[in-house]
Structure 1
Amino acid sequence: MELQQKIDRITDILRRDDGISGAMHYTEQISWILFLKFLNDFEEEKEGEALLNNTKYERIIINDFRWNHWACPKTDEGKPDVETSKTGGDLTQFVNGQLFPYLKGFKNSLSDLKSVKYKIGNIFEFLDNRIASGHTLREVLDIIDTLNFQSQDELFELSHVYENLLQGMGNDGGNSGEFYTPRAVIKAVVEALAPQPGQTVYDGAAGSCGFLIEAFDYIINKYRNKLSTEQWQFLHENTFFGNEKTPLAYTMGVMNMILHGIESPNILKQNTLTANIRDIQEKDRYDLIVANPPFGGKEKPQIQQNFPIQSNATELLFLQHFMKSLKKGGKAAIVVPEGILFQTGNAFKNVKEELLANFNVHTILSLPAGVFLPYSGVKTNVLFFDRTGATTEIWYYECNPEQKLTKNKPIQYEQLQEFVELATKRALSANSWLVKATEIVDTDLSAKNPNTNNDIDHLPPREIMVLIKRNDNEISRLMAEVEQILEEGHNG
């Protein structure tokens, strides 16, 4: 059975369990079991390496709680030991009463925040076994036991299967939507940023850590066999940083990074916006920042006080945080809702004035509507800016897929490939154009493609319909702007 088929089989088994409801639950439950099997194989591999090098490897997990002892014990011949395998109520009782308390305890007994053991404690702090039936759990354990995470091919395949699970959880709707940015967007944005060994990379709204993992994969693939031992260690231990406030997203993100080969991810479970940005010093800053922060939320007055320009719009607060967290010479790419670009209410205008004056906003990628379906239809853009001086000229690129994006027809990397190819050269095309900073009126940064034919008399009916829809969008924009001004007036 192929890996994806095995995961699909587990998903079907879990759907029948009384404790599981929806993709969020079964992804969470598959995750902790996968993780413990991965950890077992990781430790066995380390033990084997130590034996070859005539050294000793100190296991993280003590014998009673190792996979081969409680989950799937083996006979001396290496076959499943049916006699000592727990199942039913015995298995559930052991997992809930002994295994989880043991793993949760790691966080309290350690001071080394970078150790794998501490990260395990972090992960299990927010997890519980939701599988009601011990017989269901036994079925799942037996399937996962057939996976071999010492095989690089299988580990690579697992990382992609896991991404699919997280995407499924995102597609389940509700709050899980914040977990998942489409893979195509992540890949295109990271390729445009082009991270390098030795740089620090930060995502203050990490979710399932898709941006950080893509940056890791980019460096590994581009600089394969060129990294020194020090660079390799820095890449695994001191390159990637992030915050995530939602417990489930945090847990999934840390596991996702470890499953992708980043053994000690520096991801903290905290709300990024609780930090007062006035306290951020150069030593606290990062070379690269890449993020898709939540938008449309409302923050309390005590959170707003952490920012010089106060607003209850989470997107404006995150943008200020990222501006303040970027090193001199650093590069950022931030996904923002369309409203940030065109709104000119006091807070929006002031943040954008600071952005244009103190940062080089060199690129704006206009994404098509529907990129974040099914959980948001909001039109979005990606702001690329460097901390290298003021903005002089912005290169715009408008992504225009031939077909409308839907839940079942999501954006593809190929639809963003031209953007990646043209971005470094800032080349002009039917989809790209340049705007001088002096031409920007009232901090309106919205993308208005000058190459679009506006001669309505000679347009075919289909294109006239597109223009009418565009006008509707413009009216919606203006309405949002008026609402924002009224709200600011009310709050003031």
Structure 2
Amino acid sequence: MLDNLKNTIDVTLEEISVITGEIKNKIDKIWTDMWAGGVTNPLTVIEQITYLMFIRSLDEKELENESFEALTSEKMEKIFPQDDDGQAMRWSKFKDKDSREIFGVIGQKVFPFIKSLNGNNASAFSRYMENAMFMIPTPQILQKIVTGLDDLYEKDLTGLDMQGDLYEYMLDKLATAGQNGQFRTPKHIREMMVQLVNPTPDDTICDPACGTAGFLVSASEYVRKKYEATMTSEQWEHFDKGAFSGFDTDSTMLRISAMNLMLHSISNPDIDYKDSVSKQNEIISKYSICLANPPFAGTVDSESINDNLKAICSTKKTELLFVALFLRMLKKGGRCACIVPDGVLFGNSNAHKELRRELVENQHLQAIISMPSGVFKPYAGVSTAVLIFTKTDDGGTDNVWFYDMKSDGKTLDDKRQETDKNDIPDILERWNYLDQEFDRAKTEQSFFVTKAEIEGNGYDLSINKYKEVIYEKVEYDSPKVIMERIDQIDEEIVTLKTELKELLNLDL
């Protein structure tokens, strides 16, 4: 939909957008109206709001085309039919109508229209509308949502960055985990991982378990912020159409992720319905970066698992299969930052050991960042780590950098409130100056471990295997002194009891 991506960026990244309390109150009001109408599933609420945001964006694009056509006399392809019925489907035409008329136009005309855009619109969002359902229950609720969104766009959403931040705020309301342990990765953790792999405008980036496309959004924001002023037209074209790929097995998630990317200025991402670890996925050596938080604690049917993943580690555990998948999908020299449960680092099964051996012996395993168990609360309390490695197929691991993250800037309870304790800036600073880490002892928060030591420990990659703890010697008093102190306490107790009895006798 965006013909010239660079020209559509309404605000520079220096103008940092912030979702204020007033904007949050407005979106919360829309959310409350949906709940009051009986739409109580957070995913459904976001999906229905997404449809309306998309409907409005089509009219905005049409208005841009009309303005461009008026200025240049160059004929532009129209999105909406030019007859009366077609023009009546535009947001600007129906938004101020009676609630029953809005309900009829959207439910009977606009919604079927956007579902039929499949062959005529290049956006990833339109490709996943086939099974979409219009579920806003009443005209009154729909009118409230239309009015609320229009107010947000007219007064508050001044550019693509602000729209994207608004969508992130809505996605943060998803408070339930998926069936296979899927849950949203906090934005600050995603941004840390993106900075660790340092994507460029020439990279091809994939998340094969993309969910709401958070990692792809964070990567796109990083590239825009760092390279916007120097990107060539070819790089902008790549940014819009070829740089970002994501796969998922949930059509709702695909629709939401496509909208999330569109609101972050990527109109044509490669978002596809795909079971990434199955035989359906034959992608090999295609991407230069993989970023992911794949599903934990899940298993898949052994018959459906792609054979070339079994060659790396024969298992049905999704957390192992996805790491093997990253190795297969990356080009040589490709970089990966992924989240794994701690069990991947020390599990005793043959599959666990073979996968770790593959990373250490045949690839370049660079770092393991151990994260505290509260990072994913309130969704889950699982202990996790970030693996960072480069695909070489020829080794390269000499030393592995370990970091013991104790805090991520938020409390580690269910409330996850802001706190001054935050190791992420230190992690990023040390990552940029790794040469200075070799002198650090294993008693410190970060340190290097040699490949030989890891091999000697059966390729165990848990930080506790190598971290040294200094125990302070505690001096205790002699038994004689302790007994004297106990005798003194006994005497005091006797005295107090005597005084209490005297008081009680007086009262009687």
Task: Flag whether TM exceeds 0.5 (same fold).
Answer: yes
Q: TM-score, normalised by structure 2?
A: 0.80
Q: Which secondary structure does the structure 2 equivalent of 1:127 belong to? A: coil
Q: Is contact 1:368–1:399 with CA below 8 Å preserved after alignment? A: yes
Question: Shift of residue 262 of structure 1?
Answer: 0.5
Q: Where does 1:21-420 land on structure 2 (aligned, <5 Å)?
A: 21-62=40-81, 69=89, 71-73=91-93, 85-88=97-100, 91-107=102-118, 109=119, 115-116=122-123, 119-148=124-153, 153-169=158-174, 171-175=175-179, 178-275=182-279, 279-282=282-285, 285-306=286-307, 307=309, 308=311, 309-388=313-392, 389-390=394-395, 391-401=397-407, 405-409=412-416, 414-420=422-428
Distance 1:271 1:301, change over 3 A: same
Contact 2:89–2:106 under 8 Å retained in 1 = no
Q: Which position in structure 2 is the counterpart of 1:447? A: 463
User: Amino acid of the residue matched to residue 370 of structure 2?
Assistant: S
**Is the 1:41–1:149 contact (alpha carbons within 8 Å) kept by the matching residues of 2?**
no
Instruction: Extract unaligned runs of 5+ from structure 2.
Output: 1-20, 476-508
Match of 2:4 in 1: none
Aligned-partner Cα distance in 1 for 2:230–2:85: 39
Q: Shift of residue 96 of structure 1?
A: 3.5
Question: Is residue 199–residue 223 contact of structure 2 (8 Å, CA) maintained in 1?
Answer: yes
Query: What is the CA-CA distance between 1:187 and the residue it aligns to?
Result: 0.7
- Cα distance in structure 2, aligned partners of 1:179 and 1:124: 23
Measured at CA, do residues 120 and 445 of structure 1 come closer, stay the same or move farther in structure 2, by a change above 3 Å?
closer
Offset of 1:211 from its aligned partner?
A: 0.8
| Contact 1:433–1:450, Cα closer than 8 Å, also in 2 | no
Structure 2 Cα separation of the partners of residues 184 and 67 of structure 1: 43
Relative to 1, partners in 2 of residues 1:40 and 1:67: Cα closer, same or farther, differing over 3 Å? farther
Whether the aligned pair in 2 keeps the contact of 1:65 and 1:99 (CA below 8 Å) is: no
Q: Secondary structure at the match of 1:224?
A: helix
| Native 8 Å contact 2:207 2:215 kept in 1 | yes
Deviation at 1:351, TM superposition (A): 1.7
Q: 1:38 Cα shift?
A: 2.2
| Paired residue secondary structure (2:334) | strand
Relative to 1, partners in 2 of residues 1:151 and 1:222: Cα closer, same or farther, differing over 3 Å? farther
Distance 2:280 2:167 in 1: 35
What is the DSSP-based 3-state SS (H/G/I as helix, E as strand, rest coil) of the residue aligned with 1:223?
Answer: helix
| Partner Cα separation in structure 2 for residue 403 and residue 150 of structure 1 | 31
Q: Which amino acid aligns with 1:417?
A: P
Identity of aligned residues (%): 27
1:92 Cα deviation after fit: 3.9
Residue aligned with 2:200, SS: coil
| Length-normalised TM-score, structure 1 | 0.82
| Matching residue within 421, 435, 449 for 2:429 | 421
Q: 1:408 to 1:177 in 2, by over 3 A?
A: farther
Larger Rg: 2
Partner of 2:37: 17
Write the letter of the residue equivalent to 1:405. Answer: L
Q: Secondary structure at the match of 1:272?
A: coil
Moved over 6 A (4+): 64-68, 149-152
Distance 1:146 1:338, change over 3 A: same
Q: Give yes or no for contact 1:182–1:411 (8 Å, CA) kept in 2.
A: no
The answer to whether the Cα contact below 8 Å between 2:279 and 2:305 also exists between their aligned partners in 1 is no
The size of the alignment, in residue pairs, is: 440
Query: Among residues 24, 42, 54, which one is paired with 1:4 in the alignment?
Result: 24
Q: What residue ranges of structure 1 are gaps of 5+ in the alignment? A: 75-79, 460-492
After alignment, is 153-162 or 174-183 more displaced?
A: 174-183
Q: Secondary structure at the match of 1:165?
A: helix
CA 1:436–1:362 in 2, change beyond 3 Å: closer, same or farther? same
1:106 CA drift (Å): 2.7
Please provide the CA RMSD for this pair: 2.8
1:325–1:135 CA distance, 2 compared to 1 (3 A): same
Change (3 A) 1:400 1:172: same
Moved more, 7-16 or 140-149: 140-149
> Is the Cα contact below 8 Å between 1:11 and 1:26 reproduced in 2?
yes
CA distance in 2, matches of 1:53, 1:398: 59
Contact 1:40/1:67 (<8 A) preserved: no
Query: Relative to 1, partners in 2 of residues 1:13 and 1:67: Cα closer, same or farther, differing over 3 Å?
Result: farther
Q: 1:375 Cα deviation (Å)?
A: 1.9
145 and 305 in structure 1: CA distance in 2 versus 1, 3 angstrom threshold: closer
Q: Distance in 2 between matches of 1:124 and 1:238?
A: 21
Matching residue of 1:463: none
Report if the CA contact (8 A) 1:37-1:144 is conserved: no
Q: In structure 2, what is the Cα distance between the partners aligned to 1:336 and 1:203?
A: 14
Return closer, same or farther for 1:65/1:436 CA change in 2, 3 Å cut-off: farther
Q: 8 Å contact 2:284–2:330 — kept in the other structure?
A: no
User: What letter is aligned with 2:305?
Assistant: Q
Q: Closer, same or farther in 2 for the Cα pair 1:120/1:189, shift >3 Å? A: closer
What's the CA shift string for 1:398-432, capped at 9, x where partnerless? Answer: 11129850121268794311111111222435311
Structure 1 residue 53: Cα displacement:
3.3
Residue 217 of structure 2 aligns to a residue in which SS? helix
